[in-house]
Structure 1
Amino acid sequence: MNKTIRIGTRDSELALWQAKTVQAQLEKIGYKTELVPVKSTGDLVLDQPLYEMGITGIFTKTLDVAMLNGTVDIAVHSMKDVPTHLPKGIVQTAVLPRATSTDILVTKGDFDPEQPSTIATGSLRRKAQWLNRYPNHTVVNLRGNVNTRLQKLQDNDWQGAIFAKAGLERINVLPDNFESLDWMIPAPAQGAMVIVALEKDAFSREATSKLNNTEADICTYIERSFLQKLEGGCTAPIGALATCIDDTIQFKGVLFSLDGQTKLEVAKQCSKSDYKTLGTNCAEEILNTGGKELMKVIKSEMEK
C-alpha cells in the first residue's frame, strides 16, 4: 500500500464533500490518498442550459482527461452526471451506499401550486415533469452549484426551485421551506456516488472496489441501462428508479416530451437474480409504445 491514490474531484463544495467521503473511507482501510481538485466546463459556463452546450458528461470530461493524462488516479462523481458510456480506458469500480433519490421544491414560504407560478430548474427532466403536472406554470433555467442556485432563488422573483434533496443534505444547506416531490421520478442514479479508475491501474481498481455497495450498484445499473437504451446520445427528459425490496427489484421509468404534455411510463419488477435485463427491457417497451417517435421529436427540437 505504498502508492498514494490521487483523487480527482470538481472543486464545488458538494463535489469536495463527495471526494473527502471516499478519501476517509480509503484511508480507514489503510490506503494513502491525496485530493486533486479541478474546474470543469460545467462549473465555468453558468449562463447556458447544460443541454444547449452539446457536451455529454460536461461535469466529468475534465476529470476523464486528468485521469487519462496521469494527473489523477481515480475520480469521484455524482453518478447522475456520468455518461452511460465511459471513455475508453476508464472503468467504474464502486458505487457507494445511496442517499435519498428524492427531488424537492425549495420555496420562499407559503406555496400554492394552484396559482400561476415561476419555478426554476436547469434539468429537462424536472421541467417536463413539472409542466406535466402544472401546465399553467412557467419554468425558468437555473444553473450553478448548490449554494449559487439557492442564492439565485432568493434574488429572483420565483416561487420555488427544484433540487436533489441528497445534495443539500450532504453539505448541510437544506432549508426549512421545502416540499418533497414524491411524484417526480428522479434522474437515473440520482443520490448515488460513483468511483472510476483507469482500467490498467489494478492497484486503484482493487482499492476502490472494496467500497462498492451491491444494492446501490444493482439499482443504478438498471436505471442507467434504461437511460442508455432510450437516449442514444440525445439528452431527453428521462426518469428512472429501481428499488430493492428483499429479493425483488421494483422499477419505474418515464419519458416525457420537452413540454411535458406527453408522458410514457413503464413499471415492472423482477427477482434480484434477473436484474441485468430489466432496464433494457423496460426501455424497449417504452420505445415500442411511442418512444421511438417521441425521441425523434425531442432530438429534432434540441437541434433547433
Structure 2
Amino acid sequence: MAKTIRIGTRDSELALWQAHTVQDQLNKLGYKTELVSVKSTGDLILDKPLYELGITGIFTKTLDVAMINGTVDIAVHSMKDVPTQLPKGILQGAVLPRAAQEDIFVFKGEKTEAAFEDATTIATGSLRRKAQWLHKYPKHQVVDLRGNVNTRLQKVADNDWAGAIFAKAGLERINLKPENHIVLDWMIPAPAQGAMVIAVMQEDSFCREACAKLNDKNAELATRVEREFLRKLEGGCTAPIGAYAKIKDEHIHFHGALFSLDGSQKMEIEEAIPVRESQDFGALCALKILESGGRELMETIKKEL
C-alpha cells in the first residue's frame, strides 16, 4: 500500500499556505498526505536581527532535523530561506512555479516613495533590503523588523516608522497585501525570492518521484543560477546580495549585486546567455564581481558583522 507523505512545515500562516498548496497538488495526483507543523528557532527568537543569531538556515534547520529523524518525509520552504548547501542526505525535490519576485514598501498614511527624500525611518529585518534602501536613501534610518508576516504588519501599524519592506509574494499568497504599498522595481530581490521548494530525503525514492511531478523547469533553472551566484559570493558568510534570473527567448537574463552593509558601495552585474550555456553561469557572474573588488568587500563585511 502506498505510504502517506508527511509534509513538514513551519506553523506560520504563510508557511502553512505553502504546505497546503503542495498538499493539494500531491492529493490531486493521487498521493495520501498529512501536514506536520514545527516551530523553528527563527520563529522563536524575535528580539535579535537574523544575522546576529549566527545560524545558517535558521528557518529550515528544525525541519531538516525532523526529516533526518524520520518525523516528516518532505519539507516545504520559501526557497530564499534555504541555505545553498543542503544537509547530507537531503535533496531539492522540486521547485514550484515562481510567484512575484519583487519587494514592496508598505507605507503609512498618504506617503509615497517620492516623499522620502528627507530623513525618515523605515523597517526591515533583511541586510539586503537595508543596504539597497540606504544606497538609494543614505539619510534614512533603518530599524530591525522581525516576526511572521502578520506580526510585522502589526508592528508597522504600532510604530511611527514611515513603513516597512516586504516580499510581494508572501503578502499576496495570504491575501494581506495592503492598498498602501509601492512596488520597489529598483530593488534586486533575494536569490530565489518568490519561489517555493520541496526538500526530500535522498534515500526516499517514493517521495522523490512524487515531488518531481511538481517541478517547474524554468523556476528550477532561474533559481539555480541565482543560488550559484549567492553561494560563490558568500562563502558561508551572510551578506547583502541580490540576484534575479529570468528566462526569455531561450536566454537567461541575470542581474546580481553585492552591497556594503551601509549601502555606500554597490557592485553589480547584468548579463544574458543562451539557456544551453547555463552551466555555472551564476558562479561565473559572481566570480566577475569577486575579481573586481568583491573579495575585499566581502572581507570587510565579515569583519563588520
TM above 0.5, yes or no, is yes
The alpha carbon displacement at 1:114 in A equals 1.3
Aligned residue in 1 for 2:11? 11
Q: For residues 59-108 of structure 1, what are the alpha-carbon distances to aligned partners after superposition, in whole Å with 9 as ceiling and x for unaligned? A: 00000000000000000000000000000000001000000100000001
Is 1:73 the equivalent of 2:73?
Answer: yes
Aligned residue in 2 for 1:225? 228
The alpha carbon displacement at 1:138 in A equals 0.4
1:124-203 matches, within 5 Å, as: 124-203=127-206
Task: For structure 2, list consecutive stretches of 5 or more residues without a partner in the other structure.
Answer: none
Mapped to 2, the partners of 1:184 and 1:109 lie a distance apart of 22
Aligned residue in 2 for 1:35? 35
Mapped to 1, the partners of 2:108 and 2:160 lie a distance apart of 10
The alpha carbon displacement at 1:180 in A equals 0.4
Aligned residue in 1 for 2:54? 54
Q: TM-score, normalised by structure 1?
A: 0.99
The alpha carbon displacement at 1:36 in A equals 0.1
The alpha carbon displacement at 1:246 in A equals 1.9
Aligned residue in 2 for 1:20? 20
1:287-298 matches, within 5 Å, as: 287-298=290-301
Mapped to 2, the partners of 1:142 and 1:258 lie a distance apart of 16
Q: TM-score, normalised by structure 2?
A: 0.98
The alpha carbon displacement at 1:2 in A equals 1.4
Letter in 1 for 2:98: R
Bigger shift: residues 92-101 or 108-117: 108-117
Aligned residue in 2 for 1:263? 266
Q: Say which of 256, 262, 278 aligns to 1:253.
A: 256
Mapped to 2, the partners of 1:73 and 1:114 lie a distance apart of 50
The alpha carbon displacement at 1:110 in A equals 2.2
Letter in 2 for 1:8: G
Mapped to 1, the partners of 2:139 and 2:233 lie a distance apart of 28
Mapped to 1, the partners of 2:135 and 2:68 lie a distance apart of 42
SS of structure 2 residue aligned to 1:270: strand
SS of structure 1 residue aligned to 2:278: helix
Corresponding residue pairs, total: 302
The alpha carbon displacement at 1:151 in A equals 0.2
Is 1:243 the equivalent of 2:278?
Answer: no
**Runs of 4+ in structure 1 over 6 Å off:** none
Mapped to 2, the partners of 1:252 and 1:160 lie a distance apart of 26
Mapped to 1, the partners of 2:204 and 2:249 lie a distance apart of 35
Letter in 1 for 2:151: T
Is 1:99 the equivalent of 2:102?
Answer: no
Residue identity over aligned pairs, in percent, reads 69
Letter in 1 for 2:31: Y
Mapped to 2, the partners of 1:274 and 1:47 lie a distance apart of 45
Mapped to 2, the partners of 1:158 and 1:229 lie a distance apart of 35
Letter in 2 for 1:35: L
Mapped to 2, the partners of 1:14 and 1:190 lie a distance apart of 14
The alpha carbon displacement at 1:109 in A equals 2.4
Aligned residue in 2 for 1:84? 84
Q: Say which of 118, 123, 128 aligns to 1:120.
A: 123
SS of structure 2 residue aligned to 1:276: coil
Bigger shift: residues 7-16 or 265-274: 265-274
